[in-house]
């Protein structure tokens, strides 16, 4: 493996770990969400992740992030770790799966728009085309998995919309912080900010945990350790090495993986429309992360003094 391609491959691997674990979260939330209320589940998940990340920081002697990184950490902690997790849990109790897919999956589109406006992220035609294909696939998956008796409330739609906005704004705020602090630091302290924000649900969590069956509590702990502590760290690592727009587009692989995991773990056999939607999601991600022939030729051409540039290129684009 060449020194120029290794960072891109590591970042691509981190992105894969992230989307796989985030997809697994939907299976666990289905179990834990039957017992735990939205705020209590968010707090339990964040508290578990904060403890795990705190231990990791202590072992690695990470220390506190520099002052310049704190605005991005604080904003992403409030919006993404805090607001997003609570309102998404709540919103998905109010709307059917199709409506949730339609509203929540505008998040990556908002990331691209905010990234272009605030971070100067490029928006090449392949990225836009891939996101359009993936969005169509995500909506197809959601609609195909909605029950005929599903219903949507205005409150539920607004909550899902708020979740999408909080997710997008949190990602865009996190990106500059990663230029000043490491992925573990940004994730750990962002998670702590979110946990503090959710402390008003502590009494609710204590009451529900006392009466909850063990599998539901174990699922909550799993959500904290893997889809939060590990996956948000690998996300931050990959995000620090690519653009927010490309990372947002990568998350469109999650609906396809949810279909596969529900099939394997829950025995929910997907129908033809669901499979078609999942294929569209993956196809769109592939398109969004690809580059044209001219860009590949330029990347392959050795130029003196550009080793740092090559190491900062989007993950999976080498």
Biggest alpha carbon–alpha carbon distance for the chain: 64
Domain of 30? Answer: 6-311
pLDDT score recorded for residue 140:
83
Query: Residue 316 domain-assigned?
Result: no
Query: Residue 163 domain-assigned?
Result: yes
For 1-17, the pLDDT digits (tens) are 555 577 778 888 999 99
Query: Residue 128 domain-assigned?
Result: yes
Q: How far is CA 211 from the centre of its chain?
A: 30
Helix, strand, coil share (%) of the chain residues, nearest 5: 75, 0, 25
CA distance 256 to 277: 7
Query: Residue 107 domain-assigned?
Result: yes
Query: Residue 286 domain-assigned?
Result: yes
For 23-58, the pLDDT digits (tens) are 888 778 878 888 999 999 999 999 999 999 999 999
> Residue 147 — very low, low, confident or very high, per pLDDT cuts 50/70/90?
low
pLDDT score recorded for residue 195:
98
CB 177 within 8 A of CB 76: yes
Query: Residue 211 domain-assigned?
Result: yes
pLDDT higher than 70, residue 178: yes
Paired tokens of 68? 């310049």
Query: Residue 65 domain-assigned?
Result: yes
Q: What is the mean pLDDT of residues 73-78?
A: 98
For 186-204, the pLDDT digits (tens) are 999 999 999 999 999 999 9
How many domains does one find in the chain?
A: 1
Place of tokens 């310049």: 68
Q: How far is CA 177 from the centre of its chain?
A: 17
Query: Residue 231 domain-assigned?
Result: yes
pLDDT higher than 70, residue 97: no
For 260-309, the pLDDT digits (tens) are 887 777 677 778 888 888 888 889 899 987 765 544 444 444 444 444 33
CA distance 223 to 113: 29
pLDDT score recorded for residue 275:
84
Average pLDDT, the chain: 85
- Map residue 127 onto helix, strand or coil: helix
């Amino acid at each position: 493996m060449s020194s120029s391609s290794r960072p891109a491959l590591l970042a691509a691997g981190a992105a894969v770990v992230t989307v796989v674990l985030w997809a697994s979260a939907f299976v666990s939330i289905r179990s834990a969400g039957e017992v735990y209320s939205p705020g209590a589940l968010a707090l339990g998940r964040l508290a578990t992740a904060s403890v795990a990340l705190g231990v990791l920081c202590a072992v690695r002697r990470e220390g506190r992030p520099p002052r310049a990184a704190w605005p991005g950490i604080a904003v992403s902690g409030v919006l993404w770790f805090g607001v997003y997790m609570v309102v998404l849990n709540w919103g998905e109790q109010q709307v059917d799966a199709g409506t949730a897919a339609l509203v929540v999956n505008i998040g990556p589109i908002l990331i691209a728009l905010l990234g272009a406006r605030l971070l100067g992220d490029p928006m090449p035609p392949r990225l836009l085309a891939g996101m359009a294909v993936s969005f169509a696939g995500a909506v197809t998956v959601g609609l195909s998995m909605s029950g005929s008796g599903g219903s949507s409330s205005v409150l539920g739609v607004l909550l899902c919309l708020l979740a999408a906005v909080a997710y997008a704004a949190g990602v865009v705020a996190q990106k500059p912080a990663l230029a000043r602090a490491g992925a573990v630091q940004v994730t750990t302290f962002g998670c702590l900010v979110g946990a503090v924000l959710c402390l008003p649900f502590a009494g609710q969590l204590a009451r529900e945990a006392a009466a909850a069956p063990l599998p539901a509590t174990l699922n909550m702990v799993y959500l904290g350790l893997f889809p939060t502590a590990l996956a948000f760290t690998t996300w931050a690592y990959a995000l620090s090495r690519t653009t927010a727009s490309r990372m947002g587009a990568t998350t469109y692989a999650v609906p396809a993986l949810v279909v596969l995991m529900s099939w394997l773990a829950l025995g929910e056999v997907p129908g033809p429309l669901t499979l078609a939607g999942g294929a569209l999601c993956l196809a769109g991600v592939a398109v969004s992360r690809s580059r044209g022939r001219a860009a590949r030729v330029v990347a392959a051409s050795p130029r003196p003094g550009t080793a740092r540039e090559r190491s900062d290129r989007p993950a999976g684009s080498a």
